[in-house]
Amino acid sequence: MQIEIRDVRKDYGRVQAVRGVSFSVEEGQLLVILGPSGCGKTTLLRLIAGLEPVTSGTIHIAGTDVTHLPPVKRNISMVFQSYALFPHLNVRENIIFGLKVRKVPADEIERRLKRVVDLLGLSGRLDSKPGELSGGMQQRVALGRAIIAEKPVTLMDEPLSNLDAKLRNSMRREICSLQRRLGITMIYVTHDQVEAMTMADRIVLMRDGQIVQDDSPENFYERPANTFVARFIGTPPMNIVPLCPTQGGAALEPGGRLLFPGMDPDRYLFGIRPENLRLAESGQPAMVTGREYLGSDTFVSCEIHGQEVIVRTRGRRNIREGTVVHLTWDPGDVNLFDARTQERVDSVVPARKEGRENPAGSIGG
């Protein structure tokens, strides 16, 4: 276990920024801390870096309790959202700043500098000041400063948020491959779910200072822990609609086609990913309210009993608004959530579940 966070809390006066967070990171793993702005993810990273003291809890890095150690003794390097390049120093001085502080011998500095410059394609820019470089180049310098330290753990605070979309994609792949090649253990903070899904070995999703789900990207997508996760991950997000009573159980509209025999419709929410819905000859009727053409796909917005449901279809679909279509799906792709707690309901056999929880059976029968 490379990094272990146990019940870490951080209060700013009466504001609780991080409230009891625990997780661990394996050696060589890339862990993404994901969450909307203000969820405490950056604060958590700063606590791990040692830039701020924890209110309570412990942080272990490589088996050592570093909770009360200064940043330099934690064996970490960090890339800041603003890059934090020293504007008065040139690229070379920026990259080797830390090595000089730690009095690394000159020939060793040169050796490491050469390696990092080759790795990041910075040759020829060593004498430029950060202000003369493009955003992407500045990002590389910031990466270089983190890599040259040769620390086993690197912390990244939204490093790509200041780049344009195209550059972000290529830098994302580059950071990933660097992390793999150098075997760095990395904690990467972002609010961008695409970055999280594509880069992470594991994702920790935070909300209001707490962990909502700590899982692999696959599980985040396929088995979201609650409706917040389901709506946060995926573009467009998962369709989540309340169920309605019908003859013998629950349906998507009152008195509609029976989907879950014997289920109490008020207790559950029905969730399905847009790409798992198909337009078919028969099935759940829905009225088309709009469509978005993206080239490879078309997102068709439909309405079922006042609830919007988005269907992702391949290629171009010329469906007029107001048309009534029919939707089908595989039962295995359905996610059910508790209507009250919003948590995932895992025993997906509704009849048996209902049988246990509501022995009276169907309602309004």
Partner 1 sequence: MTSSGFWSKLETVAAWMLGILWAMPLLYAIWAAFHPPAYAVNFDLTAPVTLANFWEAWHTAPFARYFINTILYTTMTTALQFVLCTLAAYSFACYDWKGKDLVFSLILVQLMVMPDQLLVVNYQTMSALQLVDTIPAISLPYIASAFGVFLLRQNFKQVPLALAEAARIEGAGPLRILLKIYVPLSKSVYLAYGLVSISWHWNNFLWPLVITNSATTRPLTVGLAIFGSPENGVNFAVVSAGTLMSVAPLLIAFLLFQRQFVQSFMRAGIK
Residues of this chain that bind partner 1 (CB under 8 A): 49, 51, 70-72, 76-78, 80-82, 84, 86-88, 97-98, 101-102, 145, 149
Positive or negative, the CA dihedral 70, 73, 76, 80 is positive
Closest approach, Cβ 25 to partner 1, in A, equals 18
CB of 3 vs partner 1, minimal distance in Å:
16
Name which of 102 and 181 has its Cβ closer to partner 1. Answer: 102
State the minimum distance, in angstroms, from the CB of residue 79 to partner 1.
9
Task: Give the nearer residue to partner 1 in terms of CB position, either 41 or 145.
Answer: 145
Closest to partner 1 by CB, 84 vs 348, is 84
Write the CA distances from 300 to 157, 251, 305, 318, 320, integer angstroms: 36, 21, 16, 10, 10
Task: Output the smallest distance, CB 200 to partner 1, in A.
Answer: 23
Provide the 10 A C-beta neighbour count for residue 325. 18
Q: How far is CA 226 from CA 38, 269, 323, in A?
A: 20, 10, 32
Q: How far is CA 240 from CA 270, 276, 337, in A?
A: 6, 13, 9
DSSP 341: T
Q: Smallest distance, Å, CB 71 to partner 1?
A: 5
SS3 at position 350: helix
Count Cα neighbours of 189 within 13 Å in the Cβ-side half-sphere. Answer: 24
145 or 312: CB nearest partner 1: 145
The residue among 158 and 215 lying less far from partner 1, judged by its C-beta, is 158
**30 versus 79: smaller Cβ distance to partner 1:** 79
Compute the distance between CA of residue 192 and CA of residue 186 in angstroms, rounded to an integer.
Answer: 17
Contact, 351 vs 262, CB < 8 A? yes
CB of 60: closest distance to partner 1 in angstroms? 18
3-class secondary structure, 304: strand
Tokens of 285: 């009727």
Nearest to partner 1 of 15, 101 (CB atom): 101
Q: Are 62 and 26 in contact (CB under 8 A)?
A: no
CB closer to partner 1 out of 153 and 304: 153
Judged by beta carbon, residue 55 or residue 342, the one nearer partner 1 is 55
Residue type, position 46, single letter: R
Cβ 266 to partner 1, closest distance in Å? 50
Q: How far is the CB of 357 from partner 1 (least distance, A)?
A: 52
Minimum CB separation from partner 1 for residue 145, in Å? 8
Handedness of CA 213, 215, 220, 224 (dihedral sign): negative
Which neighbouring-strand residues pair with 291? 300
Strands (E) in 252-317, as ranges, are 260-261, 268-272, 278-280, 284-293, 297-304, 307-314
DSSP per residue, 5-37:
EEEEEEEETTEEEEEEEEEEE-TT-EEEEE--T
